[in-house]
Amino acid sequence: MNPTPPATVAVITAALDDYRLTTPTDQQTPAGAAHRIAEYLRSSGYAITPQPAARRRRRTPAA
Question: Letter for the amino acid at 16?
Answer: L
Sequence-ordered list of residues with C-beta below 8 angstroms from that of 16, at least 6 positions apart, any chain: 33, 36, 37
Is this model's pTM higher than 0.75 or not?
Answer: no
Handedness of CA 10, 12, 13, 17 (dihedral sign): positive
Query: Distance between CA atoms of 54 and 44, rounded to whole angstroms?
Result: 28
Contact 19, 28 (CB under 8 A): yes
pLDDT tens string 7-50? 999 999 999 999 999 999 999 999 999 999 999 999 999 998 88
